[in-house]
Amino acid sequence: MGASGSKTRSLWPFASPGPGGAAGPGGEQALARARGCGSATPFVFTRRGSMYYDEDGDLAHEFYEETIVTKNGRKRAKLKRIHKNLIPQGIVKLEHPRIHVDFPVIICEV
């Protein structure tokens, strides 16, 4: 499906700052800080797009081309999947921020 980040990253970005850690506005503890990387948030604002552009500029998950196959004197239309000349969509901005997959959260229903 895709790398969740837990196997590819050796640094845990949501660690607590430890004793004497940074306090945010209002006396609340600031979000976790990664070692030497600034602050890390538990939210994800972008994702990698799963769709592709073709030569015409159309956007879709898969592209097919209709081909005519003659078998035993009968013409039949067949769909052939296109793999060449496709450009990935790239980074897509999310409408609503999501919680990072590696952030430990317990959801319970009351």
Per-domain residue ranges of the chain: 43-99
Is the pTM here over 0.85, yes or no? no
User: What would the two tokens of residue 73 be?
Assistant: 């004197």
Ramachandran angles phi, psi of 25, nearest 5°:
-65, 140
* Euclidean distance between CA atoms 21 and 89, whole angstroms: 40
Instruction: Look up residue 66 and give its amino acid.
Output: E
| pLDDT at residue 108 in the model | 85
Residues of the chain with pLDDT under 50: 1, 9, 23-36
Instruction: Look up residue 12 and give its amino acid.
Output: W
| pLDDT at residue 63 in the model | 96
